[in-house]
Amino acid sequence: MDLPQIEQKILKFWSKKRIFEKSLKQRKSAERFVFFEGPPFANGLPGLHHLEARAFKDIINRYQTMRGFLVERKAGWDTHGLPPELEAEKQLKIKTKKDIEKIGLAKFIEVCRKSVFIYKKEWEVFSERIAFWLDYKNAYITCANDYIESLWWILKQIWQKGLLYKDFKVVPYCPRCGTSLSSHEVAQGYETVKENSVYLKFPVKAEPNSYFLVWTTTPWTLPANTALAVGENINYVKVKAGEQKYILAKERLSVLDEPYEIEGEFLGGTLISREYDPLFEMKLDKPGYKIVAAEFVSVQDGTGIVHIAPAFGIEDMEVGKAHDLPILMTVDEEGKFKEEVAQWQGKYVKDADVEITADLKKRKLLYKEEMIEHEYPFCWRCGTALLYYAKNSWFIKMTAVREQLLANNENINWVPDYIKHGRFGEWLREVKDWNLSRERYWGTPLPVWECAKCGEIKVVGSVKELGKKLKDLHRPYIDKIFFDCPKCNGKMMRTPLVIDCWFDSGSMPFAQWHYPFENKERIDEGLAFPADFICEAIDQTRGWFYTLLAISTVLDKGPAFKNVVSLGHVLDNKGQKMSKSKGNIVQSSEIIDNFGVDVARWYFYTINQAGDPKRFDLKDVKDIYNRFFGTLYNTFVFYKTYVEKNFKPRKNFKPKNILDRWIFSLLNSVNLEITNRLENYDVVSAARTFENFIGELSNWYVRRSRRRFQKPESAAEKNEAAQTLYFVLLSCAKLAAPFIPFLTEEIYLGLKRVRMSESVHLCDYPEVDKKLISKTVEEKMVQAREIVALALAERAAAGIKVRQPLRELRIKNKELWDAKELIELIKDEINVKEIIFDETLKEAIKLDKKIYKDLKEEGVIRELVRQIQEMRRQAGLIRKDRIGLRLETKDKNFQKVFAKWEAFVFKETLSEKFNEQKTGKPDLEKDFAADEVKAKIGIKKIR
């Protein structure tokens, strides 16, 4: 079995016969099953996790196609945002926004545009190789003018609903990229870090040696401090420790690491408006450096007194606005201290933390330091630690549609289901307004124009509204469009921002069709919206899954998708994330080239539940290759060997033999089960059901039917078994075609007769024939196999080989005993002469393990037959070759036994008496030993 080689052959077949195109064409006027492709970035290479997601997408799309639906599969490319910008910076050997502005935006975005498709070819080749059928010819591209125009239309809808607004807010900000990020972007990049935290002494004004004790993890924000916050109803204490006095929450006394005496206890409310001396004296434009009350203050950690720097914390800003505090912007857009902080001017803030701490220590304003471990957000694209930073940004008011988001989520089927109200539901309940604007270059321009004089705003919702033709809607060209203000005589300029590229991908249901400028009916008549099915890895829960829902919800279009499969991440075999730096990345080519795509796909379908993380181990892949694929392939080879030649399938074949009736019943039960599972997007159970069936087919049906194929009593007997195996294998090929498209195609083509579809992927999915299902037959077979298992276990425990016949087995199950065909099967399988019904048994069975003389003889003879067969194989003989057989032994008794069994042995081994004078010496000689018997066997091919 060389699956990779078979796959190459099948790939050529598909491509030459255009099977994918035909599979769509033959469903042209069928009802649609809508699938959305989450667009990847083509400026990175596809990895193993892409294989995982694509395997899960493909199986459902193929299944629904075979079920009779038209499943259009428009490919898509994500093209905007930081990935191409970072690539362009690398190519141009520049680093900062200033550099970009120096070389000019026009040149910069040209390099971005070109970098977008660096690996497009690789992606297409990869998809084809893994049999992920996708329509690349009509792919949507997020940087195309038509796509951008649809995004503008959507943004204008949002504006008209009053949900698009500008605000001065503290937002997560990447100082390297020079832009703010949205909460779903921040959610992509949390990491656990160890950092120094500090306890600080803020001197109480006009009270020497008295301090407010304050805790912070960001010393760099201290120069921007303008207030301290307490909880109005929290209990505080003033303590005396040595010469110093400290004020802190009573419940946080444990932070003191020296003896103290409590001098007084009071509520936080009594501290309000008390003043303190700042750690760094700054010029304030209004009153500050005082105690204020804030609801978020807790006694969970720290001291119960919180340092407030309105410019650098979301809650700080809220407190600042509520109490009209001064806002100190001490840091520039590159994350460096401005001249106001002369001591560290030009220094990157995170690098200044240590020096700030040392300075405070020198001035005896540091109480103590403490290492802490906490979750901190990093830029999901460039890995820089994010800062919280006050900025003017444009937001979508997602908080206004929280209820609709939650209601729409109720109509989505999640796999696994716990994500619906867990990871995703929690996210929606806590939904934040969407920080949409980015201070970058290569992105969809925010279509907002603002009057420099009166602040009037115009949002453009189409290219037509620009009043001018633009070849390219990107910056810098769009920035040269101006409007006259309708309110005053001022000039309106575009706000020089681009938008979050997650808005691009979340809008794909509409923008991929250039809605509403074209293809209006596709959306409005439900032909291409909502999606019946989407599937990506779990990190998209708060990424693409969210933005799809967010945009369809603000547009009042309901949920964008009905069913979503969220996949577990692919980790290394120790459960670690795969990464370049750890050197533990497994390339998908390692699996594909050695084992084949089908094996990789089957690995993902069966290794664990779809939503669970996968600890990827090549050992598991090898095991699947040998076990499942070996079994399936060998069953097919068995068919090829014993049936295919001169065989004609009968249309109205009705199985009569118990094994035939059983396997047909099981096949249809399994067909029903797989169909039900797949209808519920439970790929894993469906695949496992099929895998079990192949085990039954090979280890029971084929094995128990072997004689009918190899030594049938009549041509009719063999034909019956052959009809069964043919139809079962054909059904298997169709049932498994969506999962393992290559091997099933190979099997199908090996079974195909004239007037059948030219590919298994052009067939309909098998319909269940309920008439063929007999639960009684299936149950009885289970009982029979339980008896077999018990008897074989007894044999094994007593050390009696199965080849040694035994006299009798008593069983207690009357119904089973009445099923004579099954009793014959059991007799054969466990090699007993008789099965007797015995209702007095305490156990289910009783096996007579005594080896009687005649049985012992027979056992030796069977062992002899086995060895002769083995010698025939060694001599390279085929089934039809006749041999001369010579048996030499001094054992008189065995000579007699052999004489008695001679005819049987000759028949079983296709041999006759050896005649040396006629044929010459044997081809092969071997010693034979069984029990006390010793002999020498010689064989010779005679014709």
Taking the complex as a whole, how short is the minimal distance between the CB of residue 487 and Zn ion, in angstroms? 4
Closest CA to 550 of 600, 500, 590: 500
**Which residues on adjacent β-strands are paired with residue 885?**
913, 939
The reply to whether 39 belongs to the active site is yes
Q: Which residues pair with 212 in a beta bridge?
A: 202, 247
Q: Which is nearer to Zn ion, 382 or 407 (CB)?
A: 382
Cβ 81 to Zn ion shortest distance, Å: 11
Q: Is 502 a catalytic residue?
A: yes
Q: Which of these segments, 71-79, 379-387, 524-532, 900-908, binds Zn ion (CB under 5 A)?
A: 379-387
Query: Least separation, in Å, of the C-beta of 92 and Zn ion?
Result: 17
Q: Which helix (H) or strand (E) holds 706?
A: helix 703-710
Q: Residue 383 CB, nearest distance to Zn ion (Å)?
A: 7
Alpha carbon distance 684, 607 (integer Å)? 8
Query: Which among 398, 390, 376 has a CA at the least distance from the CA of 542?
Result: 398
Of residues 39, 445, 738, 805, which has the active-site annotation? 39
Which candidate in 78, 359, 500, 572 is catalytic?
A: 78
C-beta of 311 vs 379, nearer to Zn ion: 379
Which of these is catalytic: 77, 502, 513, 700?
502
Instruction: Identify which range of 117-125, 168-176, 737-745, 749-757 contacts Zn ion by CB under 5 A.
Output: 168-176
Distance, CA of 247 to CA of 214 (rounded, Å): 9
| 405 versus 485: smaller Cβ distance to Zn ion | 485
Residue 540 known to be catalytic: yes
AA letter at 248? L
Residue closer to Zn ion, measured from CB, 354 or 452: 452
Stretch that binds Zn ion, among 175-183, 316-324, 353-361, 690-698 (CB under 5 A): 175-183
Instruction: Tell which residue, 432, 431, 430, 408, has the closest CA to residue 420.
Output: 408
Neighbours of 39 (CB within 10 A): 22
Give, rounded to a whole angstrom, the gap between the first and last alpha carbons of the chain.
31
Q: How is residue 628 annotated by DSSP?
A: I
> Rounded CA gap, 569 and 608, in Å?
12
* 437: its two tokens: 């604007």
For residue 446, state whether it binds Zn ion (rule: CB under 5 A). no
Per CB under 5 A, the segment of 155-163, 174-182, 901-909, 928-936 that binds Zn ion is 174-182
Write the secondary structure of 770-810 as one string of H (helix), E (strand) and C (coil). HHHCCHHHHHHHHHHHHHHHHHHHHHHHHCCCCCCCEEEEE
640 is catalytic: no
Q: Is the peptide bond before 445 cis (omega within 30 degrees of 0)?
A: no
Alpha helices in 596-696 (DSSP H): 597-606, 618-624, 630-642, 658-679, 683-696
Q: For residues 2-31, which are near Zn ion according to CB under 5 A? A: none
Match 């795969």 to its residue by tokens: 578
382 part of the interface to Zn ion, by CB under 5 A: yes
Written as one letter, the residue type at 364 is K
Neighbours of 160 (CB within 10 A): 11
391 as an active site residue: the answer is no
Q: How far is the CB of 157 from Zn ion (least distance, A)?
A: 24
Among 158, 177, 683, 773, binds Zn ion (CB under 5 A): 177
Between CA 333 and CA 392 the distance in angstroms is 12
Q: How far is the CB of 392 from Zn ion (least distance, A)?
A: 18
Stretch that binds Zn ion, among 5-13, 167-175, 519-527, 572-580 (CB under 5 A): 167-175
Contact yes or no for 600/640 (Cβ under 8 A): no
Q: Minimal distance in Å, beta carbon 501 to Zn ion? A: 13
Burial call 433-471: b when 16+ CB within 10 Å, e when fewer: bbbbbbbbbbbbbbbbbbbeeeebbbbbbebeebeeeee
User: Residues 395-434 vs Zn ion: string with x where CB under 5 A?
Assistant: ----------------------------------------
Considering the rule CB under 5 A, would residue 451 count as an interface residue with Zn ion?
Answer: yes
For position 174 contacting Zn ion by CB under 5 A, the verdict is yes
Of the pair 184, 708, the CB lying nearest Zn ion is at 184
The 3-state secondary structure of 676-702 reads HHHHCCCHHHHHHHHHHHHHHHHHHHH
Q: Which range binds Zn ion by CB under 5 A, 83-91, 417-425, 455-463, 876-884?
A: 455-463
Would you count residue 453 as binding Zn ion (CB under 5 A)? yes
Q: Give the 3-state DSSP-derived string for 810-874, with helices as H, strands as E and coil as C.
A: EECCHHHHHCHHHHHHHHHHHCEEEEEECCCCCCCEEECCCCCHHHHHHHHHHHHHHHHHHHHHH
Between CA 368 and CA 379, with CA 373 as vertex, the angle to 5 degrees is: 120
Q: How far apart are CA 134 and CA 35, in angstroms?
A: 11
Judged by CB, which is closer to Zn ion: 439, or 696? Answer: 439
How near is the Cβ of 543 to Zn ion at its closest, in Å?
16
DSSP class of residue 371? Answer: E
Q: Both tokens of residue 486?
A: 């309708």
> 451 or 694, CB closer to Zn ion?
451
**Contact mark string toward Zn ion, 479..518, x via CB under 5 A:** ------x-xx-x----------------------------
Q: Shortest gap between Cβ of 221 and Zn ion (angstroms)?
A: 20
CB of 350 to Zn ion, least distance (A): 14
Q: Could you say which of 469, 580, 890, 892 is catalytic?
A: 580
Structure tokens at 50: 């892409």
Residue 381 backbone dihedrals phi, psi, to 5 degrees: -100, -45
Q: Annotated catalytic residue: which of 414, 544, 662, 901?
A: 544
| Size of residue set near Zn ion by CB under 5 A | 14
**The tokens of 448 are what?**
């907002």
Burial class, 101, CB count within 10 angstroms (exposed 0-12 / middle 13-18 / buried 19+): exposed
Q: Is 875 in the site for Zn ion (CB under 5 A)?
A: no
Nearer to Zn ion, 490 or 695 (CB): 490
Which tokens in the block code for residue 925?
């000689």
Q: Which residues pair with 563 in a beta bridge?
A: 413
Other CB atoms within 10 A of residue 343 CB: 12
Judged by beta carbon, residue 39 or residue 335, the one nearer Zn ion is 335
Rounded to an integer, what distance in angstroms lies between the CA atom of residue 86 and that of residue 585? 23
Please report how close the Cβ of residue 148 comes to Zn ion at its closest, in angstroms: 23
Cβ of residue 177: shortest distance to Zn ion, in angstroms? 3
Nearer to Zn ion, 380 or 533 (CB): 380
11/457 with CB nearer Zn ion: 457
Q: Which stretch binds Zn ion (CB under 5 A): 137-145, 242-250, 477-485, 826-834?
A: 477-485
Site for Zn ion in 456-475 (CB under 5 A): 456
Toward Zn ion, which CB reaches closer, 86 or 272? 86
Stretch that binds Zn ion, among 70-78, 357-365, 382-390, 823-831 (CB under 5 A): 382-390
Q: Of all helices (H) and strands (E), which one includes residue 294?
A: none
State which of residues 158, 311, 341, 379 lies at the interface with Zn ion (CB under 5 A): 379
Phi, psi of 74 (to 5 degrees): -75, 125
Among the listed ranges 115-123, 449-457, 594-602, 930-938, the one in contact with Zn ion (CB under 5 A) is 449-457
CB nearer to Zn ion: pick between 370 and 456: 456
CB distance 200 to 279 below 8 Å: yes
Q: DSSP class of residue 629?
A: I
| Residue 554 tokens, joined | 């603000």
Minimum distance between the CB of residue 536 and Zn ion, rounded to whole angstroms? Answer: 23
Interaction site with Zn ion (CB under 5 A): 174, 176-177, 379, 382, 384, 451, 453-454, 456, 485, 487-488, 490
Catalytic positions are: 39, 78, 502, 540, 544, 577, 580
